[in-house]
Amino acid sequence: MRFSRIFFSIVVFVVGYYLAVFTTGCAQIGMPTGGPKDTLAPRLTSASPAINSVNVTGNKVTLSFNEYIELKDPQTNVLISPFPKKQPQIDYKLRTVTVKLKDTLMPNTTYSINFGNAIVDVNEGNAYKNFTYVFSTGNSIDSLMLDGKVLIAETGKADSTLIAMLYRNADDSSVQKRKPDYITKLSGDGSFSFLNLPAGTYKVYALKDGDGAKTYNSKKEIFAFASEDIIVSATNNPVMLYASAIEKETPRTGAGKPAPEKRLRFSVAPSSAIQDLLQPFEVSFNNPLKTFDTGKLVLTDTNYKPIPGKWQIDSTRTKITLTVQWKPETPYRLVMDTTAFADSAGRHLTKLDTIRFVTRRVEDYGSLVLRFSNLDLGKKPVLQFVQGEEIKESYPVTAAEWSNKMMPPGDYELRILYDSNQNGKWDPGNYSKKLQPEQVIALPQKLAIKANWDNERDIKL
């Protein structure tokens, strides 16, 4: 009996204890949080051969890390210098990266394997940034360097998709015949660095390598070259390169030329009802024109007085333009005879047409004054107003102060073109003629021009 009472008391105590825990703590039940997020990059724990080893004879490198890793696109992101003739084998497994060089190692040469940001941990993708492994087949590690910068000559801006290339003891044709001795990538501002170089004479280039050949083999490739050989020594003199393409890439349309329509029609832009005082009047056609008779096009004022002007047709023969010294706030009429135009099939306009429009006011434009300092007028500067990729306005600059009382309002980027041949436009370089491209300076200040407003700006180059 006594034993039963004791057993009963124990059961009551246990049940009461768990009820208390359940009722007071049930809101706290949940999955463990797992701790803070991992933000640490993988850490190298060992390397074979060790980093900066000398007198290395083997062609295999093994790198071990403190956690599981993966290698992102190693064939693209990993750069080996000197640049290998045969594609190396680069693998990773668990915590280990292995690199097998298939070339015969050159004697007394410093090799570097630049992984960039390719090594990341498996869980969070934290990158082991800018990791470079170095070893030498000789008695010492080469430690010289060459810095430089590449800009697109036409825009004055950087393009980090280019690569910088270095050739040692090479002639002018080497860049067109064989792969470089050293390759490095550009940073976001166009700068680059070659590290662990031996002293010597080099040729330096930059290339937008569209076909992956690592050689300059097309006039459509964006390319830059130093006019003189570069001496790499203890004194590091940075190199400045300006890249250009002799020929523009032809846009791919995916279809051939459309068949001519069975009726000749014209059109004008909706904005042409109010004509810009600074631009020609434009008329577009649906079919290319075979004949274009300006004598049957008459521009008049409202009193039918003929207004002189200059007609032109573009290279596609689908757009004609009329340049006139327009008067502000003036109505005009353009009368087009049915036989003024004919396409390749001899089709004319179906009826005589009259286009009516009026010109803008002077108040629709802004007044602009720019005051330059450190502008080299001897290089024949041209001031360019740019929107997007299009040069909207272009003016030669002959003094430290430039002004224009009728500027179209809008937001612009400013560039300075050094127009060495004074033809009013940018010209590319030509490697075969050892001709550098004309340079463009992209000014960091953006300009907002307001209508009917005095806009002024001081610009220091």
Average pLDDT of the residues of the chain? 89
Share of the chain above pLDDT 90, in %: 79
Contacts of 236 (CB under 8 A, 6+ apart): 144, 145, 146, 147
- Specify the range with the lowest mean pLDDT, choosing from 255-264, 269-278, 431-440: 255-264
Kindly state whether residues 319 and 337 are assigned to the same domain: yes
Which of 318, 333, 360 is the last residue before a domain boundary?
Answer: 360
Residue 361: both structure tokens together: 């006011």
Q: Which residues contact 254 (CB under 8 A, 6 or more apart)?
A: none
The per-residue pLDDT for 44 is: 95
Distance CA 108, CA 198 (A): 10
CB 230 within 8 A of CB 194: no
Contact assessment for residue 87 and residue 75, using Cβ atoms and an 8 Å cutoff: yes
Report the distance separating Cα 443 and Cα 432, nearest Å: 31
User: What tokens does 103 get?
Assistant: 């070339």
For tokens 């004309």, name the residue. 438
d(CA 420, CA 427): 9
Cα–Cα nearest to 412, from 395, 396, 440, 388: 388
Work out the burial of residue 418: count CB atoms within 10 Å of its CB; fewer than 13 is exposed, 13-18 middle, 19 or more buried: middle
What's the DSSP call for residue 248? P
> CA angle at residue 203 from 199 to 205, to 5 degrees?
130
* pLDDT of 4: 47
Compute φ and ψ for 231, nearest 5 degrees: -95, 115
305, part of any domain? yes
Mean pLDDT score, 169-194: 95
pLDDT in the model for residue 31 = 47
Note whether 384 and 333 are same-domain residues.
no
Q: d(Cα 195, Cα 183) in Å, to the nearest integer?
A: 10
For 444, the domain range is 364-460
Predicted TM-score (pTM) of this structure: 0.81
Write out pLDDT tens, residues 109-152: 999 999 989 999 998 899 999 899 999 999 999 999 999 999 99
pLDDT at 72: 92
260 part of a folded domain: no
Residue in 251, 248, 249, 250 with CA at minimum distance from that of residue 428:
248
Mean pLDDT of 201-208: 97
Peptide linkage before 49 cis (omega within 30 of 0): yes
pLDDT beyond 70 at 27: no
Same-domain pairing of 321 and 336: yes
Residue 75: band (very low, low, confident or very high) from pLDDT cuts 50, 70, 90:
confident
Shared domain for 352 and 417, answered yes or no, is no
- Are both 328 and 315 inside the same structural domain? yes
What is the rounded end-to-end Cα distance, in angstroms, of the chain?
105
CATH of the domain at 82: 2.60.40.1220
Please, are residues 57 and 136 in contact by the beta-carbon 8 Å criterion?
no
The answer to the question of residue 248 being in a domain is: no
Strands 331-336 and 69-71: unpaired
Q: Which residue did the predictor score with more confidence, 41 or 9?
A: 41
Closest CA to 245 of 273, 285, 206, 284: 206
Q: Prior bond to 251 cis, omega within 30? A: no
Residue 34: per-residue pLDDT: 55
Structural domains in the chain (count): 4
- For residues 177 and 156, membership in a common domain is answered with yes
Residue 33, pLDDT above cutoff 90: no
Same domain, 102 and 154: no
Asked if 341 and 348 count as a contact pair (C-beta separation under 8 A), the reply is yes
Same domain, 154 and 110: no
Position 253 scores a pLDDT of 56
- The answer to the question of residue 154 being in a domain is yes
Question: Does any domain span residue 382?
Answer: yes
Residue 261 or 328, more confident: 328
Structure tokens at 452: 């009917």
The CATH number of the domain holding residue 184 is 2.60.40.10
Whole-number pLDDT of residue 19: 44
> Does residue 238 contact residue 258 with C-beta atoms inside 8 Å?
no
